[in-house]
Amino acid sequence: MSLIRRLVFGENPRRTLTRVIVLAAISFITFRWVLVPIRTEGSSMLPTYETSRLNLVNRLAYLGGRPARQDVVAIQMAGPHVLYVKRVIGLPGERVSVVDGTVNINGMPLVEPYVRHRRPWQVDEVTLGPSEYFVIGDNRGMAAGDHDFGRVDRSRILGRVVF
Amino acid sequence: MPRRVLAASAVVIAAAIAVWFVTQSADESTQVRRRLDALCAAVNASTTDGRGPEARANEFATFFTDDVEIDLGSGALPIRGRATLTSMAERLQPRTAAFTLKFEDVTVAMGPGGTSADVHLTAEFLRRDLVSGGQSLDAREFTLGMHRGSEGWQIRRVAAVETLK
C-alpha cells in the first residue's frame, strides 16, 4: 500500500471507514439535537455576546430542570432557525418591573453585574404566569423601544446558551 | 454485488425520487411555499431592472387579495385593502430596496377543501446601511391566512405574533 493511501485510509481501510461513519453520526446528532450552533446578530446582548459570533445552545439543559435566573437562553420564534438570545431575569409567579433602568423582582432590586450601561427604562410591573419567564438583553444602554424583551412561555425556550 | 441487483436498486431509487418529485410538485402546501418564495423574490428584486415603482408595486400587490388585512402589531395601524397596500409599497420602495426579506421555519396547514391555508413563519429582514455599508438583522414572527382564488394563492391576512409579550 502506498504511503498516501496509508495516510488517507489507514492500515485497515474498513476500520477507518467505520470510524468516519461513527464520527459523522455522532457529530450530526450532537450539533443537530444537543449542542446547536447559532450565530448571534445584533447588539441587544452586548457586552456579553458580540454580534456575528458563533455560540452553542444546549437543548438538553432543561430536560431535568427549569431555566434559572440569569441563564442566557435561546428562544424560538416560528421554528428553531431564527432565535432570540436573552437573559432570564424573572421566574414564574414573580412580579417584574423596571424602574429608572433597575430591574425589580417582587419589589426588590436585582443585582446585575453583566449590565455595563443603563438608560432609565421604565416598565410597568407585570406578574408572570405559571409557565412564563421574563427575558431581557444585557445591553440596557440602548433605547428601550429598540430592544425586544418581555414575557415568554417556557415552551418557546429552546435551551441554554453556552460558550 | 451482482450487476442485476445493482441495476434493480438503481431503478427502485430513481422511481422513488420521481414519485417524491411528482407528489411534492402537486402538493398544495408546496404551491403555497413557492408563492411565498416568489413574494420574497419580488421584494428582493433589484431596483435597477428598468421598471418603475408603480410596476413593482403592482407586481407586489398580486400576492395579496383585494380585502387583505395586515396587522403588524406593536401599536401600528392595520393596513386594509390591496389598494392601500399598493400605494404604500410604491411610496416605500426607496426604503424597502435597502433590505432583503427571507422567510424561515415556514409551516403550512391546509384548510378544508384545499382553498385556504394558515401559514406560520419567521420573517428575516436584512437591512443594508447605504452609508456605512454595514448590515443589521431583524426578525419577526407572523401568521398568514392564504386563499386560493382565480389568481392562484394570495395572502388574505397577516398578523404579527408577539414572541416576547
- How far is Cα A118 from Cα A140, in angstroms, rounded to an integer? 5
Q: Cβ of B55: how many Cβ atoms within 10 Å?
A: 12
Residue B43 has pLDDT above 60, yes or no: yes
Q: Is the peptide bond before A47 cis (omega within 30 degrees of 0)?
A: yes
Triad B17, B22, B25: Cα angle to 5°: 120
* Biggest CA-to-CA distance, chain B: 69
Choosing from A2, A27, A44, A131, the catalytic residue is A44
Q: Which residues in chain A have Cβ-Cβ distances shorter than 8 Å to B137?
A: 41-42
Residue B25 has pLDDT above 60, yes or no: no
Which pLDDT tens digit goes with each residue over A109-156? 999 999 998 999 999 999 999 999 999 999 999 999 889 999 999 999
Picking from B101, B118, B122 by the largest number of A CB atoms within 10 A of its own CB, the best residue to mutate is B122
A89 within 8 A of A134, measured Cβ to Cβ: yes
A155 catalytic? Reply is no
- How far is Cα A89 from Cα B158, in angstroms, rounded to an integer? 32
A131 catalytic? Reply is no
Model pLDDT, residue B16? 84
Q: Is this complex's ipTM strictly greater than 0.90? A: no
Classify the C-alpha dihedral A141-A146-A148-A151 as positive or negative: positive
Nearest chain B CA: its distance from A42 CA (Å): 7
B135 within 8 A of B128, measured Cβ to Cβ: yes
Model pLDDT, residue A6? 80
Does residue A154 sit at the B interface (CB-CB below 8 Å)? no
How does DSSP classify residue B113? Answer: G
Model pLDDT, residue A27? 96
Model pLDDT, residue B94? 66
Q: What is the mean pLDDT of residues B45-50?
A: 69
Model pLDDT, residue B15? 85
Model pLDDT, residue A12? 86
Q: Residue holding cell 415603482? A: B53
Does residue A82 sit at the B interface (CB-CB below 8 Å)? yes
Range in A51-55, A128-132, B25-29, B64-68 the model is least confident about = B25-29
Cell numbers for A89? 431575569
| pLDDT, mean over chain B | 86
Model pLDDT, residue A10? 81
Q: Which residues in chain B have Cβ-Cβ distances shorter than 8 Å to A77?
A: 105, 122, 139-141, 161, 163
Model pLDDT, residue A70? 96
User: Which segments in chain A show pLDDT lower than 50?
Assistant: none
N- to C-terminal Cα separation, chain A: 44
Cβ distance of A81 and B139 shorter than 8 Å: no
Nearest in space to B140 (alpha carbons), one of B127, B153, B155: B127
| pLDDT, mean over chain A | 93
- How far is Cα A8 from Cα B89, in angstroms, rounded to an integer? 58
Cβ distance of B164 and A42 shorter than 8 Å: no
Choosing from A27, A86, A97, A155, the catalytic residue is A86
**How long, in residues, is chain B?**
165
